[in-house]
Amino acid sequence: MPAQSPDLATYMQTLDHPLKPEIEQLREILKSADSRLSERIKWNAPSYHLDGVDIVTFGPLMRKKDEILLVFHHPKIVEIASDILEGQFKDRRLVTLHNQAEVDANAEELRRIVRGILALIP
């Protein structure tokens, strides 16, 4: 799994969000999908990339206190079929989670989505 960057450690220490445990768990889920992923702060939120190519980023965490938004913004996401992916944008899809039960229920699907994107990157 990738090492946590110092700025990300500070970000998470100071994050005041009611779903912080779920955010931490989602970070671990995303990092565990593929050891090649790197984690950083981008767009003022945790973000995951492969050699600088963005794969998925948390949406603005302070946008709503009752949900967590994941933005899969690699263009290959449109080739991945999943019931949890929302939106018909030309280059991104969204996942919205509201609680621990949803995080738990979708953990393996999130890993599958990340692995699917990475498999499509030349």
Residue 90 amino acid letter: K
Structure tokens at 92: 């991104």
Number of H helices, E strands in the chain: 3, 5
φ/ψ bin of 26: left (φ > 0), alpha (ψ from -120 to 50), beta (otherwise)? alpha
pLDDT digits (tens, 9 = 90+) for 51-109: 999 999 999 877 788 899 999 999 999 999 999 999 989 999 999 999 999 999 999 99
Within a domain: residue 1? Answer: no
Mean pLDDT of all residues in 10-36: 93
Within a domain: residue 64? Answer: yes
Model pTM above 0.85: yes
pLDDT digits (tens, 9 = 90+) for 6-21: 588 888 899 889 999 9
DSSP labels, 55-93? EEEE--TTS-TT-EEEEE-SGGGGG---TT-B---SS-E
Report pLDDT for 7.
81
Contact between 45 and 61 under an 8 Å Cβ cutoff? The reply is yes
Which residues constitute the domain of residue 51? Answer: 6-120
CATH code, domain carrying 43: 3.90.1150.200
Domain count along the chain:
1
Report pLDDT for 1.
47
